């Protein structure tokens, strides 16, 4: 059901929840024009409530997108990948340090952006950094005929679903997140990880704006829970991943051209479904810089 957002001067704005888990479409606003403070506030309130916001049919230049994102904090710079992963993170058409092109498109064999191919496991954007991006903003420019959907999971719900005993056991515990995408090969992360960007965050994080507790681990980059032996850590992490990926906590976004989607990395994880390799997919990403996270 579509509801008007009752806020002075922003009466054209409406919000429509997209799933029982999270996600809402906002309409009645053109993001290519500068917004008034009360409009930004209305969007922020809806964001804190729904975690993932979708605006359809937007026409946004790179500058428009960056101007809009900057209403919500300092823009995040593209992070340099460690050497072995460098090829997948640098693109020849990325002309702004605040912008990353999420794409499989190549020109003369050179990727124009990054993170292009196929499926992507559930993750937090830059969860391995001491200050993971607060927010990510993604704008759809070219899409395959099918697939390449983005799944978002509500990690407040996942936290609430952690059994009381496990919550007690993990109180005060931190989990190590590393910039290494293949968990199957992560045995080495129990050894020397000095060459790989990494950071330990609390397993449970208090969202700085809403004050709600959220589960902060993901299958792609979380490696171990500090203070537990490997077997126990692996078993608990698997339980937590399964909770975080419970279908009833997930909204799956099927992209349309002109979609602008923004999400809060503190209380959601996201994943991409597979899509035909031979078809082009191009989305423009920017972020807002984060802050240290506390339990």
Rounded least distance, CB 211 to Fe ion, Å: 25
Residues 121-150 that bind Fe ion (CB under 5 A): 125
Using the minimum distance from each CB to Fe ion, give the nearer residue, 10 or 151.
151
Nearer to Fe ion, 43 or 102 (CB): 102
Q: Which token pair is 103? A: 């794409």
Question: How far apart, in Å, are the Cα atoms of 64 and each of 33, 150, 225, 244?
Answer: 7, 23, 41, 33
φ, ψ at 38 (rounded to 5°): -70, -30
Q: How far is the CB of 181 from Fe ion (least distance, A)?
A: 11
Query: Shortest Cβ distance from residue 123 to Fe ion (Å)?
Result: 6
Nearest-CA neighbor of 32 among 73, 77, 70, 62?
Answer: 62
Cβ 94 to Fe ion, closest distance in Å? 16
User: Is the Cβ–Cβ distance between 102 and 116 less than 8 Å?
Assistant: yes
Phi-psi region of 258 (alpha: psi -120 to 50; beta: other; left: phi over 0): left
Residue 188's CB is within 10 A of a number of other CB atoms, namely 12
- Closest-by-Cβ residue to Fe ion is 125
Residues 169-198 binding Fe ion (CB under 5 A) are none
Q: Least separation, in Å, of the C-beta of 128 and Fe ion?
A: 12
Closer of 13 and 100 to Fe ion (Cβ): 100
For Fe ion, which is the closer residue by CB, 215 or 236?
Answer: 215
* Residue 47 vs 135, nearer CB to Fe ion: 135
218 binds Fe ion (CB under 5 A): no
Task: Tell me the two tokens of residue 288.
Answer: 């807002």
Residues of the shown chain interacting with Fe ion in the complex, contacts defined by CB under 5 A: 125
């Amino acid at each position: 059901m579509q509801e008007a957002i009752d806020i002075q001067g922003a009466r054209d704005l409406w919000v429509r929840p997209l799933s029982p888990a999270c996600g809402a479409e906002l309409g009645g606003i053109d993001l290519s024009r500068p917004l008034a403070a009360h409009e930004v506030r209305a969007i922020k309130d809806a964001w804190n409530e729904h975690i993932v916001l979708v605006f359809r049919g937007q026409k946004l230049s790179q500058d428009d997108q960056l101007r809009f994102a900057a209403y919500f904090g300092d823009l995040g710079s593209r992070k340099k990948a460690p050497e072995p992963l460098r090829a997948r993170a640098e693109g020849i058409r990325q002309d702004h340090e605040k912008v990353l092109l999420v794409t499989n498109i190549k020109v003369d064999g050179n990727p124009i952006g990054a993170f292009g191919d196929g499926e992507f496991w559930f993750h937090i954007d830059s969860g391995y950094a001491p200050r993971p991006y607060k927010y990510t903003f993604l704008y759809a420019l070219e899409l395959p005929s099918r697939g390449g959907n983005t799944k978002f999971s509500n990690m407040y719900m996942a936290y609430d679903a952690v059994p009381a005993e496990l919550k007690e056991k993990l109180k005060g515990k931190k989990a190590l997140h590393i910039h290494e995408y293949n968990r199957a090969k992560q045995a080495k992360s129990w050894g020397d990880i000095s060459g790989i960007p990494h950071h330990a965050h609390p397993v449970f994080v208090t969202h700085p704006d809403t004050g709600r507790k959220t589960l902060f681990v993901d299958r792609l980059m979380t490696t171990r829970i500090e203070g537990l032996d490997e077997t126990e850590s692996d078993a608990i992490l698997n339980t937590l991943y399964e909770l975080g990926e419970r279908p009833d906590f997930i909204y799956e976004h099927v992209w349309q051209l002109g979609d602008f989607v923004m999400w809060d990395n503190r209380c959601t994880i996201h994943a991409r479904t597979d899509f035909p390799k031979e078809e082009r997919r191009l989305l423009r990403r920017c972020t807002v810089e984060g802050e240290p996270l506390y339990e």
